[in-house]
Amino acid sequence: MTLKRSLSFIAAAAFSLNAMAWQPSGKVECIAPSDPGGGWDFTCRSAGNVMRDLGLVEGTVQTINMAGAGGGVAYAHTVSKRAEDDKLIVAASTATTTRLAQKQFPGLDADMVTWVGALGADYGVIAVGKDSQYENLNQLLDAIKQNPKSVKFAGGSARGGWDHLKVLITAKAAGADKLPAIPYLSYNNGGEAMTQVVGGQVDAFTGDISEVTGFLSSGDLRVLAVLADERLPGEFADIPTAKEQGVDAVGPNWRGFYMPQGASSESKAFWVEAVDTLYASEQWKKVMKANGLIPFHPPADEFDSFVKQQVQDIENLSREIGLLK
């Protein structure tokens, strides 16, 4: 028994030694599947900078913007053209899993890449204008349960997108039926959607916590619930979670990376380790704080199953509301 354990320990040590021995030489690329300026672009650029500062990579991490199909162009590119590239990581988030779940990348699924790790998350919120009649999440949900059309939501994603799904996850957790009947108005981004809620045109806002900071501090918006397991740190500590109000709904919009499936196991081990080191660093904590990201980092061996579970959950929900047949 002891012998077996120590043998496996030696094997593991040898493996990890081996893993650490591999280091990318030359140019490393990070694909941001969007135009410059968005969340994925931010993930690549800021993570790339910190990786270079920490000495994880020799040179710089070059960010390549590859917009199209909400990440689909980059996903197809990784799967078909870069399938064995050891020096490539691609930025991803819950938007990626949502589209995978809803089969919006034709012929592609979540098993075709290797999920490396998460670097933090932006948690979902349900909010109303300051003059709204709804004081807490349950009042709002009771109204929906009585008449699904009574509360109109505005959000920054397309119909069926992540902002819409957060409403459905919450309503479902509260036991509401007729989910497809809940009115959802999609805007180009969260800011535009919030304008409508602050101006009193639409009843409620669904989005991420980082989007509401401005209107939260100005007092124009009342956040009824944050869709996290526990209360968020710092300035958000006053906001109740959905869970403590008796509604078991969680909606993390994580940010992280995937890489080509066919890359060598040494390089995969290297990148997992690199993301762990990056996440633990002081520099990254500063980046997270400055950009409204909340700690979220499933252990390396659980991240892959977390992603696949999320894809499965979203798929089930999308089927239920008739977005997917």
Enumerate binding residues for other proteins (CB under 8 A). Answer: 35-38, 64-70, 72-73, 76, 104-106, 149, 152, 157-161, 183, 185-189, 191-192, 194-196, 198-199, 201-202, 214, 218, 323
Nearer to other proteins, 54 or 73 (CB): 73
Nearer to other proteins, 38 or 240 (CB): 38
To other proteins, the closest distance from the beta carbon of 189 in angstroms equals: 6
Nearer to other proteins, 233 or 322 (CB): 322
Task: Specify whether the CB–CB gap between 279 and 117 falls below 8 A.
Answer: yes
To other proteins, the closest distance from the beta carbon of 36 in angstroms equals: 6
What are residue 295's phi and psi, to 5 degrees? -55, 130
To other proteins, the closest distance from the beta carbon of 183 in angstroms equals: 5
To other proteins, the closest distance from the beta carbon of 57 in angstroms equals: 20
To other proteins, the closest distance from the beta carbon of 86 in angstroms equals: 20
- What pairing do the DSSP bridges indicate for beta strands 153-155 and 204-208? parallel
Using alpha carbons, select from 207, 210, 179 the residue that is nearest to residue 193: 207
Nearer to other proteins, 19 or 69 (CB): 69
Nearer to other proteins, 24 or 161 (CB): 161
Nearer to other proteins, 193 or 269 (CB): 193
Q: Which two tokens stand for residue 79?
A: 């799967």
Chain mean position to CA 266 = 26
To other proteins, the closest distance from the beta carbon of 199 in angstroms equals: 5
To other proteins, the closest distance from the beta carbon of 320 in angstroms equals: 15
Nearer to other proteins, 214 or 295 (CB): 214
